[in-house]
Chains A and B, each alone.
With several copies, the nearest count.
Chain A
Amino acid sequence: MNKVVANAQEAIKGIEDNMTLMLGGFGLCGIPENCISALVKANIKGLTCISNNAGVDDFGLGLLLQKKQIKKMISSYVGENDEFERQMLSGELEVDLIPQGSLAERCRAGGAGIPAFFTPAGFGTEVGHEKEVRYFNGKPHILEHALTADFAIVKAWKGDKLGNLIFKGTARNFNPMMAMAGRITIAEVEELVEPGELDPNFIHTPGVFIQRIFQGEKYEKRIEQRTVRPRS
């Protein structure tokens, strides 16, 4: 059971125009940099991308936006990206904005075989528009449906050849849920190790959710808001 592929280019084989992708990351933190570059290079078009954010103008998913490879974004927060705003306001880009918690839970649900669930988030807002409303304990909830994707692409810190993953710090974010929800899930990792090198008790994403894995290269890990305090 060897899931290792050589590189990003090989990993994204089978991703075609008009497919739906999930991409892990929060802002620029924990994003699959290598696969995004490979998607840009392959010039795959008409993509529907499910990702909490849309990158910045010149990094992350912003690179795919620049080349107009994205038809539709499903996200929770898309600030910090002028090209995104331009495409959205001009109508070139379809945008479906989802509360962050509902986005996370809908991905998890997609991976966990839960087709729909009730949540209070978004009731009485645009998000709840035309969605089924039901009261539980006197409180209104809306029915949200699972999300899945043709391919999910996640970024982990370390992974073994069976696909077991561990993440570092808040680079974890959406990666574990999206790993569950891809029909095919690709993991790019900073360090690829042999089975047995990761402690079974501390795996964040079990290998069963991963179909392809490779060790990425040249991680830039750009910081969006560098905030520091003076040394006293």
Chain B
Amino acid sequence: MLDKKGIAKRIAQELQNGWYVNLGIGIPTLIANYVPEGISVEFQSENGILGMGPFPFDGEEDADLINAGKQTITAMKGACIFDSATSFAMIRGQHIQLTVLGAMEVADNGDIANWKIPGKMVKGMGGAMDLVASAENIIVAMMHTNKRGQSKLLRQCTLPLTGVGCVKKIVTNLAVLDVTPQGFKLIERAPGVSVEEIKNATEGRLIIEGDIPEMNI
């Protein structure tokens, strides 16, 4: 089974040279730490920076340089700053090759829900609706089940949607799955996790074809 870092590491393997990548809050943010050697990507943060670098050294924080999670950051050489309209022009205009974000629920048709629990929690969608509506390549990074042990990979989302039919790939603590017209297709198992465990933790339609390899991470 993977921990959050493991999920980030596995997703980092998907990065391709020259890609511009938007990382959501939470697990996705960790991916920046595991970019494979020889791969050069640039990270976009939708509040207005391309070429986001690591956190600043203690004492060098700049209140005027944050990411979309409101964390203090640094800028890489060759970074650039822009306003929110330009930022979402990049996103909506499909100039960003990969979006990774968290989710509360994903359905086996690619629907995603991650911004609202009616009557309980309403943080807002932030940039997530723009990202999922436009990104050609969306990976969801999340735990396979919620705190009560219920599957987050569903036949249908129960929470208000963030986007419809948009998720392409899911990496959880248990597995890597592609979203296909027939449902979640199991691609890899996390180290030490059996197909049976994944089956039990997946409520949506699950396609298992042939031997499912263990992740190499």
Contact = CB atoms under 8 A, between A and B. Distances in A.
Interface of A: 1, 26-30, 52, 75-80, 85, 88-89, 95, 97, 99-105, 107-108, 110-114, 119-127, 157, 160-162, 164, 168-177, 180, 194-196, 198, 200-201, 203-204, 206-209, 221-231
Nearest to A163: B78
A200 B61 CA distance: 17
A76 B90 contact: no
A162 B80 CA distance: 10
A172 B126 contact: no
B66 A108 contact: no
A79 B123 contact: yes
B-side interface size class: 35 or more
Given A52-B84, A97-B124, A125 B66 contact: no
Contact of A100 (B60, B61, B75, B130): B130
Interface of B: 17-18, 20, 40-42, 44-51, 54-73, 75-96, 111, 116, 119, 121-130, 133-134, 160-165
| Listed residue (B56, B89, B127) with the most chain A CB atoms within 10 angstroms of its CB | B89
B163 A124 contact: yes
B64 A102 contact: no
A102 B81 CA distance: 19
30 contacts: A77-B126, A78-B122, A85-B122, A97-B125, A99-B127, A100-B129, A104-B84, A107-B85, A110-B93, A112-B92, A114-B92, A122-B129, A123-B163, A125-B161, A126-B116, A126-B161, A127-B129, A162-B42, A169-B62, A169-B64, A170-B45, A177-B85, A200-B79, A207-B50, A208-B50, A208-B95, A225-B71, A227-B73, A228-B55, A230-B57
